[in-house]
Amino acid sequence: MSSIDPTALRHDETEPIRVNSDRIKYTPEYITASYEYQSTRVERASGDNGTTEYVAKPFRQEFEFRTDRRVPKTGLMLVGIGGNNGTTITATVLANRHNITWHSKDGLQRPNYYGSLVRASTIRLGTDPSGKDVWVPFSSMLPMVHPNDLVIGGWDISSMALDGAMERAKVLEYDLQRQVAPHMAKIKPLPSVYYPDFIAANQEQRADNVIPGDDKKAHVEQLRKDIREFRESNGLDQVVVVWTANTERYSEIIPGVNDTADNLLSSIEKSHEEVSPSTVFAVACILEGVPYINGAPQNTFVPGAIELAERHKAFIGGDDLKTGQTKVKSVLAEYLVNAGIKPLSIASYNHLGNNDGYNLSSQRQFRSKEISKSSVVDDCCEANHLLYKAGTNAPQGEDGKRVKGERPDHCIVIKYIPAVGDQKVAMDDYTSELCMGGRNRLYVTNLCEDSLLASPLLIDLAILAELMTRITYRVPGDDGEHKSLYSVLSLLSYSLKAPLVKPGTDVVNSLNRQRAAVTNFLRACLSLPPESDLLLETRIW
């Protein structure tokens, strides 16, 4: 398989920052930072007159973070590389690398990475001597892979080379397609895993490029071989794999089948019917030691897959890309609840005409998407027990999870309308309760180009996942070696609808909290305090 040979331009490169502190040490190989993590632990206690009160205890923990400064030559392997997202991200990287300009009806267009958290957003570093805020590019905080340098390849159930697949997707302007096509034609997808029961029957006509047979253990081994050969043939130091293929139906969680790592491996050896293609890819990546991100809503990471990742200290992340409507919903619902306004119902309607919509026209695949989109308001409702009964005050069950409390009525509809193509239309109706029984209704219409929102997120997920492989930590005083971070990369949640988190911990869907988490983690790796809007210097004499 041919792949991209990086000859990256640096027209958007910025200078890295340097921290002047006795708590940070720079060597040619590493940035080693001492960091004091401060938090608050809360306990319930019996107060006077039989009441219950909260007792808050400040908590401090010293950490040492070590970041490898040597950015590896990195490959990005996409599952579903011939789809809308796969062809769009590949063309985007090629256009940026070769500085391809093109004409549209609006005039001359230049390539960029707009929509990427890593390449098109900034972080407030601090204030200058006059008290003015200083903002720096997100990508300048720590050494990160430049997307122009990514070596791209991957798998698809369709054998069509990427120039034809790009034309089939109908996402990019013709003049751009014309110029990037010679580069795209060099990339042909590897045969992929195809189990018809997991995706819509209407995808069968595409499936002319599949790994033969029904031996799932053999499929895992073939994928591992593909990853190794891709790494070796391109001289790569690291590979990241991202699923951007069709949405699968949910897998049933069956005791003895996929509930533990050993049971999952045994089920793969037996080619059990409930092991999905995406889980086969996940297992192959875990065993091969490369990060694997699930960019679709299905439950790829069954309990056995998470346990297997923990066992091998492999990195996984998911689920489902958070692009347009859901990203807005996570902000708007949080705004209403934090303002003390009670959302009673959220009705969401979508229609789109790309192959994603075609696949989702099947009920079982739509159900996966419905689940991932519906959970986005859960954490903000649980956070306010004054508006919603139970919430975070609810008791925990034997499984450690809180009893779910009151929620807004939440309805999600997705319809396949071929004529609109990649132009996804989303309409939302928010009905909320105001003071003294009043009502507030908000109507939001969101018209977006689906793949042009999703593709930069795939870049972010790959770059940040690679970065996490170079960050280790230890607790001062512990004579042990530096440890890698926990297997589930919850720091990627900003780009994901249904974030995968460490079992037993709360899911955070709030977009602001998700961004603050990754921003403050980068700061911690530089011995910098969390970003704060306290701004005491502006509030005192």
Q: Give the catalytic positions in this structure.
A: 320, 369, 424, 497
Q: Is 445 helix (H, G, I), strand (E, B) or coil?
A: strand
The C-alpha angle 496, 499, 501, rounded to 5 degrees, equals 150
Other beta carbons within 10 Å of 174: 12
Letter string b/e over residues 361-389, b meaning 16 or more CB atoms within 10 A of that residue's CB: ebeebbbbbbbbbbbbbbbbbbbbeebbe
Q: Alpha-carbon distance 49 to 360, whole Å?
A: 57
Edge-first strand listing for the sheet containing 52-68: 24-26, 30-46, 52-68, 471-474, 483-484
Q: Is residue 263 a contact partner of residue 215, using CB atoms and an 8 Å limit?
A: no
Cα torsion 455, 460, 462, 466 to 10°: value is 170
90, 154, 263, 300, 465 from 308: Cα distances, Å: 31, 23, 10, 13, 18
Do the beta carbons of residue 78 and residue 93 sit within 8 Å? no
Tell me the C-alpha distance between 57 and 43, whole Å: 8
Neighbours of 403 (CB within 10 A): 10
* Residue ranges of E strands in 138-263: 151-156, 190-191, 238-243
E strand spans, 118-170:
122-127, 133-137, 151-156
* Angle, helices 277-288/216-233, rounded to nearest 10 degrees: 50
Cβ atoms within 10 A of the Cβ of 27, count? 9
Helix (H) and strand (E) counts in the chain: 14, 19
Which among 173, 300, 304, 294 has a CA at the least distance from the CA of 242? 294
Contact by Cβ (8 Å): 151, 97: no
CA–CA gap between residue 371 and residue 412 (Å, rounded): 9
Residue where the block lists tokens 């006059």: 130
422 preceded by a cis bond (ω within 30 of 0): no
How do strand 292-294 and strand 342-352 relate by DSSP bridges?
A: unpaired
| Distance from C-alpha of 512 to C-alpha of 418, rounded to nearest angstrom | 34
Helix/strand/coil for 326 = helix
Strands 316-318 and 292-294: parallel
